[in-house]
């Protein structure tokens, strides 16, 4: 008996090896780690033209009625290229009249407010340290700037072509102004009328002159000056070969009280001085001479030979070299020091320090530095090697499902570059490789034979390997589909030979879980990755025995055709007319939910030259037309004739909701922390019912229940799902057919 039982488990495992569906990269659009907004309601009341992110933790909104750009959040703004800010790209930069910046802002990025022609004033918050290159270039109307003491650097051309700028209110003492490095191209800022928190009462004087500096080739040196009563400083330099006459002195482009210079042998004999001014009087400091001694190129300190760290951490390789004027860092993958220098690739030209963020793919990489002197001589450092640990941030979780449902397991293992899932069946101590090499995998149509199988994941990179904790799959018998008044047939199609989908089977399972948890306790049947014949047969067997009091749900998630059809994985399409005719024989009310869209050339369909909008409308309209016109007869059967019951017009037999993306393929996203792909419209519908992925578990509140009566009408669930999907990406179109006030689902 024990031997026979063990054999049964091995057979089940072999069936499992050939049945699971591997996820892959979606060819249309896949956005990972998208957080579900709590509510899309009331967006139209804000009057904004658009919104988005302008920094890792900064969000912007433009209010078109007041022409105000409002930025909220904290931290640094993004660094933009010329003309690449969202407001320039969207065409309303020139309309912005005011900008509101948050107190937590720490930097203003390059080109942030470029071409904001109508902007007249700007108040910069008190934590901002730098104002990036060209940040306010071509702000022709900018007349006043509030500048905090925190600002230490104004980069090149930040206020270029700000012709109207006449007032700078500096929230500090006049003497503090000389601590700001204002680079070239900011004449309009420098020439404006500056007012200070405390007026300058000290007489203009240079208290400490810059000093001569002698150093070896290839080092940074700093010249300093101390002045009282100064409101501006300009450093200048004189070439060693030029005579000391006023016309030969050139501005160094530095306006703070210190000047940092890279001392290479070419600068030997240069002189440096500064001009200090209080607005009415200008003084010149003494000139300081830079003497650079030639030092033969020599690496004195090699990079660290081995660094071990976790993924996401910063690591640093350093080299110290006498006489070096240039540093080129190189890397080698994946292992060892080669005999041929051509195997090395350039990482960056930088300084004597290389700082990088470790990833799993870098494990076993080598890094070295080639140093150069001013004459072009070079030396190679010894290599240092990086090792990255694999760690599990998220382990697989045990799951209990009903027979026929789908399930997914996933891990999050920073530092891993490869994965291998393994299974162990009850009664056998051996772990078998499953043949799945991704960080997640799904099982379709779970059978009772799978119950008790244990899973784990082996995650590894070139040098590190970890094994996850185990997760157990429990499969329970599903209730008989032929019992009860409320029944549902749910179909999810993933495994298309071309243009595969990855969220449809998940949607099917989530919908089944949601329906089973309602007051009506729908008996559900799931049919993943099926063909035409199986679907048509399942309609008959699932709803056999229904009466005029029955409510039947037909749900489909998969590819669709713009000519008006659902497209099974195998076999020919099922037209809406065929589907409507088949479902019309089911007594009672029938709810049809279609989460599919036109799938383009991937399934040999074409739109006849129509654009995406037209094709989607054609798809939706074809579904509505096919199901409209059916009415309930007194016995609950379907009829095309309008019949009366108790002197009133009978309600329509079908309730239809269609959902589709404005694209030729469906959109799947990771909306929550379940680790599962989810179709936009179904995810929104499940959320509106107050349920979560992966099993449709009720969370305690139905957001779609607008009047709080624990009942969901057709209009309520449609409007919530439509608005939520639109809010997520603005590209979901849907329609419905039926009485909007009719109650579809009850919670109590």
Q: How do residues 23-58 score in pLDDT, each as one tens digit?
A: 332 223 333 333 333 333 333 333 445 789 999 999
Query: Which CATH number does 205-293 carry?
Result: 2.60.40.10
* Residue 606 banded pLDDT, cuts 50, 70, 90: very low
Nearby residues of 208 by Cβ (< 8 Å), 6 or more positions away: 224, 225, 226
Whether CATH 2.60.120.10 fits 298-389: no
Q: Cα(269)–Cα(288) distance, rounded to whole angstroms?
A: 10
Q: Cα(436)–Cα(456) distance, rounded to whole angstroms?
A: 11
Instruction: With residue 721 as reference, give the H or E element that holds it.
Output: helix 714-729
- Give me the pLDDT at residue 127, please: 95
- Give me the pLDDT at residue 668, please: 62
The domain defined by 2-20+391-476 folds into Immunoglobulin-like (2.60.40)
The top-scoring range by mean pLDDT among 43-47, 275-279, 658-662 is: 275-279
pLDDT greater at residue 216 or residue 2: 216
* Residue 205 banded pLDDT, cuts 50, 70, 90: very high
Q: Which CATH architecture has domain 44-197?
A: Alpha-Beta Horseshoe (3.80)
- Give me the pLDDT at residue 505, please: 86
Among the residues of 477-634, which ranges form H helices? 504-516, 532-542, 576-584, 612-627
Sorted by where each begins, the domain ranges of the chain are 2-20+391-476, 44-197, 205-293, 298-389, 486-746
pLDDT greater at residue 607 or residue 74: 74
**725 is written with which tokens?**
């999907």
pLDDT greater at residue 2 or residue 543: 543
Write the DSSP assignment of 187-211 as a string of letters.
Answer: HHHHHSEEEEEE---SPPEEEE---
What contacts 24+ positions apart, CB below 8 Å, involve 185-191? 185/156, 185/157, 185/158, 185/160, 186/154, 186/156, 186/157, 186/158, 186/159, 186/160, 188/159, 188/160, 188/161, 188/162, 188/163, 189/145, 189/154, 189/158, 189/159, 189/162, 189/165, 190/232, 190/255
Among the residues of 66-218, which ranges form H helices? 86-89, 187-191
Specify the DSSP class assigned to residue 527: E
Q: Are 233 and 265 in contact (CB under 8 A)?
A: no
- Residue 605: count other Cβ atoms within 10 Å of its Cβ: 20
Angle formed at CA 640 by CA 634 and CA 644, multiple of 5 degrees: 35
- 205-293 has the same fold as 44-197: no
Nearby residues of 484 by Cβ (< 8 Å), 6 or more positions away: 521, 522, 523
Per residue in 124-179, pLDDT (tens digit) is 999 999 999 999 999 999 999 999 999 999 999 999 999 999 999 999 988 888 88
Q: Are 76 and 55 in contact (CB under 8 A)?
A: yes
Q: Cα(679)–Cα(669) distance, rounded to whole angstroms?
A: 7
C-alpha torsion 583→587→591→596, nearest 10:
-10
Q: Which of 14-23, 72-81, 429-438 has the lowest mean pLDDT?
A: 14-23
Q: Cα(511)–Cα(686) distance, rounded to whole angstroms?
A: 7
* Residue 4 banded pLDDT, cuts 50, 70, 90: very low
- Give me the pLDDT at residue 553, please: 92
Q: Cα(690)–Cα(700) distance, rounded to whole angstroms?
A: 7
Q: Of 393, 395, 405, 394, which is closest to residue 694 (Cα–Cα)? A: 405
Q: Which of 311-315, 454-458, 596-600, 736-740 has the lowest mean pLDDT?
A: 596-600
Average pLDDT over residues 404-430: 90
**551 is written with which tokens?**
């409510």
Average pLDDT over residues 554-571: 86
* Residue 719 banded pLDDT, cuts 50, 70, 90: confident
- Give me the pLDDT at residue 2, please: 40
Q: What is the mean pLDDT of the chain?
A: 82
- pTM value is 0.47
Question: Does residue 334 have a cis peptide bond before it, meaning omega lies within 30 degrees of 0?
Answer: yes
Beta bridge partners of 296: none
Q: Cα(545)–Cα(10) distance, rounded to whole angstroms?
A: 38
Instruction: With residue 590 as reference, give the H or E element that holds it.
Output: strand 589-598
Q: Cα(89)–Cα(70) distance, rounded to whole angstroms?
A: 17
Q: Of 254, 284, 695, 249, which is closest to residue 508 (Cα–Cα)? A: 695
CA distances from 426 to 429, 558, 711 (A): 8, 35, 44
Query: How far does Cα 370 stand from its chain's mean position?
Result: 37
Per residue in 212-266, pLDDT (tens digit) is 999 987 778 999 999 988 888 889 999 999 999 999 999 887 788 889 898 887 8
Q: Are 286 and 209 in contact (CB under 8 A)?
A: yes
Three-state DSSP state, 717:
helix
Nearby residues of 667 by Cβ (< 8 Å), 6 or more positions away: 28, 29, 661, 679, 680, 729, 731, 732
Q: Are 661 and 501 in contact (CB under 8 A)?
A: no
* Residue 748 banded pLDDT, cuts 50, 70, 90: low
Three-state DSSP state, 423:
strand
The top-scoring range by mean pLDDT among 218-232, 418-432, 605-619, 673-687 is: 418-432
Q: Which of 250-264, 371-385, 406-420 has the lowest mean pLDDT?
A: 250-264
Instruction: With residue 145 as reference, give the H or E element that holds it.
Output: strand 144-148
**377 is written with which tokens?**
């001589």
The pair phi, psi for residue 276, each rounded to 5°, is -110, 145
Q: Cα(300)–Cα(556) distance, rounded to whole angstroms?
A: 69
* Options 3.30.70.20, 3.20.20.70, 3.40.50.1460, 2.30.30.90; CATH of 486-746: 3.40.50.1460
Per residue in 479-524, pLDDT (tens digit) is 554 445 888 999 998 888 877 888 888 888 888 888 888 877 888 8
- Give me the pLDDT at residue 711, please: 86
Three-state DSSP state, 44:
helix
């Amino acid at each position: 008996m024990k031997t026979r039982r063990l054999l049964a488990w091995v057979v089940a495992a072999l069936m499992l090896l050939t049945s699971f569906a591997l996820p892959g990269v979606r060819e249309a659009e896949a956005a990972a780690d998208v957080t579900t907004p709590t509510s899309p309601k009331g967006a139209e009341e804000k009057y904004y033209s658009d919104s988005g992110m302008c920094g890792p933790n900064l969000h912007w909104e433009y209010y078109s009625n007041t022409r105000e750009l409002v930025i909220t959040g904290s931290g640094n703004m993004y660094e933009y290229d010329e003309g690449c800010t969202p407001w320039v790209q969207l065409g309303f930069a020139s309309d912005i009249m005011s900008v509101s910046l948050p107190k937590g802002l720490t930097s203003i990025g390059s080109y942030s407010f470029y071409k904001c022609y109508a902007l007249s004033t700007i108040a910069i918050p008190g934590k901002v340290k730098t104002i990036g290159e060209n940040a306010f270039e071509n702000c022709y109307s900018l007349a006043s700037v509030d500048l905090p003491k925190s600002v230490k650097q104004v980069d090149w051309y930040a206020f270029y072509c700000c012709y109207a700028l006449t007032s700078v209110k500096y929230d500090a003492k006049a003497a503090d102004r000389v601590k700001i490095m204002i680079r070239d191209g900011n004449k309009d800022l420098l020439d404006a009328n500056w007012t200070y928190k405390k007026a300058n009462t000290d007489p203009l004087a240079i208290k400490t002159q810059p000093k001569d500096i002698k150093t070896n080739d290839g080092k940074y040196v700093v010249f300093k000056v101390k002045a009282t009563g100064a409101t501006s400083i300009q450093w200048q330099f004189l070439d060693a070969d030029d005579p000391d006459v006023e016309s030969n002195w050139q501005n160094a482009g530095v306006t703070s009280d210190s000047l940092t210079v890279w001392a290479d042998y070419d600068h030997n004999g240069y002189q440096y001085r500064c001009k200090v001014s209080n607005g009415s009087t200008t003084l010149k400091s003494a000139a300081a001479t830079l003497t650079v001694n030639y030092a033969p190129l020599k690496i004195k300190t090699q990079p660290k030979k081995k660094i071990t760290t976790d993924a996401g951490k910063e690591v640093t390789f350093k080299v110290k070299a006498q006489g070096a004027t240039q540093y080129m860092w190189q890397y080698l993958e994946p292992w060892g020091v080669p005999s041929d220098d051509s195997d090395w690739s350039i990482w960056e030209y930088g300084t004597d320090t290389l700082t990088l963020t470790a990833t799993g793919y870098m494990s076993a990489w080598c890094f070295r530095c080639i140093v150069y002197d001013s004459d072009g001589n070079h030396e190679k450092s010894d290599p240092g090697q990086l090792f990255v640990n694999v760690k599990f941030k998220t382990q697989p979780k045990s799951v209990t499902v009903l027979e026929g449902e789908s399930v997914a397991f996933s891990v999050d293992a920073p530092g891993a570059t490869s994965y291998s899932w393994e299974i162990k069946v009850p009664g056998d101590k051996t772990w078998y490789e499953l043949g799945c090499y991704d960080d997640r995998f799904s099982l379709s149509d779970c059978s009772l034979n799978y119950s008790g199988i244990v899973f784990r994941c082996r995650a590894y990179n070139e040098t590190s390997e970890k094994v996850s904790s185990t997760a157990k799959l429990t499969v329970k018998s599903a209730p008989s589909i032929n019992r009860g008044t409320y029944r549902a047939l749910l179909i999810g199609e993933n495994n298309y030979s071309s243009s595969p989908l990855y969220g449809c089977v998940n949607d099917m399972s989530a919908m089944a879980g949601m329906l089973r948890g309602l007051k009506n306790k729908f008996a559900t049947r799931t049919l993943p990755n099926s063909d035409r014949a199986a679907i048509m047969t399942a309609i008959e067997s699932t709803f056999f025995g229904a009466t005029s009091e029955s409510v039947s749900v037909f749900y489909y998630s998969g590819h669709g055709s713009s000519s008006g059809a659902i497209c099974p994985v195998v076999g020919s399409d099922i037209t809406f007319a065929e589907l409507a005719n088949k479902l019309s024989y089911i007594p009672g009310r029938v709810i049809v939910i279609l989460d599919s869209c036109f799938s383009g050339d991937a399934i040999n369909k074409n739109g006849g030259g129509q654009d995406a909008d037209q094709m989607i409308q054609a798809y939706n309209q074809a579904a509505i037309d096919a199901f409209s016109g059916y009415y309930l007869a007194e016995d609950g059967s379907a009829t095309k004739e309008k019949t009366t019951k108790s002197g009133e017009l009978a309600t329509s037999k079908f309730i239809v909701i269609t959902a589709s993306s404005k694209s030729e393929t469906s959109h799947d996203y990771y909306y929550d922390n379940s680790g599962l792909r989810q179709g936009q419209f179904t995810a929104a519908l499940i959320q509106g019912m107050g349920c979560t992925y992966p099993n449709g578990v009720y969370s305690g509140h139905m957001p779609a229940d607008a009047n709080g009566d624990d009942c969901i009408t057709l209009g309520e669930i449609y409007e919530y799902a439509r608005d939520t999907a639109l809010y997520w990406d603005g590209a979901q179109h849907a329609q419905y057919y039926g009485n909007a006030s009719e109650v579809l689902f009850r919670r109590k």
